[in-house]
Amino acid sequence: VGSMDALDEMTRALPVAERAVLRLVYGGGKNMREAGAALGVSESRASQLHSAEVALLRARLGVELKGVA
């Protein structure tokens, strides 16, 4: 399973626009300004979406990792 496939799996519950920021930044090599422009939002909004997504992923990973031990 590729890293983008794993990211898609973990973010499936997120709204499409929020998933798109992660895909554009990490899969497409875009910066926040470029990702925001692609989505029709400001760089600031793209950064807000990104921060929220990363926090959610960290929380999900924390729960999954605690269950592995």
Contact 11, 53 (CB under 8 A): yes
pLDDT by residue (tens digit) across 3-39? 667 666 777 777 787 788 988 998 899 999 999 999 9
pLDDT in the model for residue 11:
73
In the predicted structure, residue 64 carries a pLDDT above the cut 60: no
For residue 62, pLDDT over 90 is answered with no
CA distances (Å), origin 50, targets 17, 26, 57, 69 = 10, 11, 10, 29
Centre a 10 Å sphere on the Cβ of residue 53 and count the other Cβ atoms it contains.
20
pTM: 0.72
User: What's residue 69's pLDDT?
Assistant: 45
